[in-house]
């Protein structure tokens, strides 16, 4: 049986995929403004992309932002994420600084998950996982490929490797260059979820060609999906209102369908 996580009353790994919206603003004022603009939207999870924050290496300012976000979103899941340059992030960081920053976020008491690029930072992955778990926080292992979609066996191995390394949630985002690529991702997600893995998966095919993965991921075993409020933060994201409508429709919650 696949494991689920009940975080602030929101169950990851069960039922309708939970909607994540990232915050990628560059300064504290803009971050808080963006967060306040999101409070009435149908979202479950807020991901703070801290790599976009210009003062991210000032740990006091980073903690202050986390405290403000927790105050604005007391009942939402909060993910801390510093996206590495090689996976589409905003700035460079050393392995040591990356590990320390993730630990500070986890120990702040403000976040529920810390995103760790387990495949790209394999040499310090175990230390990141241990420090985050020691703080009582879950790890979202992640892998982003903005170029193409690896073959199904590679995607399955990647998801399973993240689980075996200790990730509580495993996330992959790939770029489809043909319809077959979308099918490859969906097949890999379904096979991992139904045959091999036992923890929640997040699987996304980026660009408009991958939209089906954002809308119908639950059918194939994906537990969360990304939407946009305002400008999209990744290729192929759609508005959270439309995303929520489609998820409700696919999940049979027709009374919640607003269109």
CA distance 235 to 217: 17
Instruction: List C-alpha distances in Å: 71 to 31, 36, 78, 110, 174.
Output: 13, 10, 11, 9, 33
Task: Cite the active site residues.
Answer: 144, 171
């Amino acid at each position: 049986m696949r494991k689920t996580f009940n975080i602030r009353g929101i169950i990851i790994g069960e039922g309708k995929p939970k909607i994540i919206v990232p915050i990628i603003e560059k300064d504290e004022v803009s971050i808080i403004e963006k967060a306040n603009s999101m409070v009435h939207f149908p979202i479950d999870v807020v991901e703070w992309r801290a790599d976009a924050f210009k003062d991210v290496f000032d740990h006091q300012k980073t903690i202050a932002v986390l405290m403000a976000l927790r105050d604005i979103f007391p009942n939402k899941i909060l993910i801390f994420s510093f996206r590495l340059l090689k996976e589409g992030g905003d700035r460079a960081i050393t392995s040591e600084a990356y590990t320390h920053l993730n630990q500070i976020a986890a120990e702040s008491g403000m976040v529920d998950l810390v995103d760790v690029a387990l495949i790209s930072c394999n040499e310090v992955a175990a230390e990141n996982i241990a420090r985050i778990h020691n703080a009582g926080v879950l790890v979202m292992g992640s892998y982003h490929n903005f170029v193409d979609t690896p073959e199904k066996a590679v995607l399955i191995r990647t998801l399973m490797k993240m689980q075996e390394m200790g990730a509580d949630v495993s996330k992959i985002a790939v770029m489809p260059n043909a319809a077959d690529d979308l099918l490859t991702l969906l097949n890999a997600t379904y096979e991992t979820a139904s045959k091999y893995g036992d923890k929640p998966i997040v699987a996304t095919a980026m660009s408009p060609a991958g939209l089906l993965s954002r809308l119908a991921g639950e059918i194939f075993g994906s537990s969360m999906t990304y939407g946009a409020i305002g400008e999209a933060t990744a290729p192929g994201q759609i508005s959270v209102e439309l995303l929520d409508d489609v998820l409700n429709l696919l999940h049979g919650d027709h009374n919640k369908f607003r269109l």
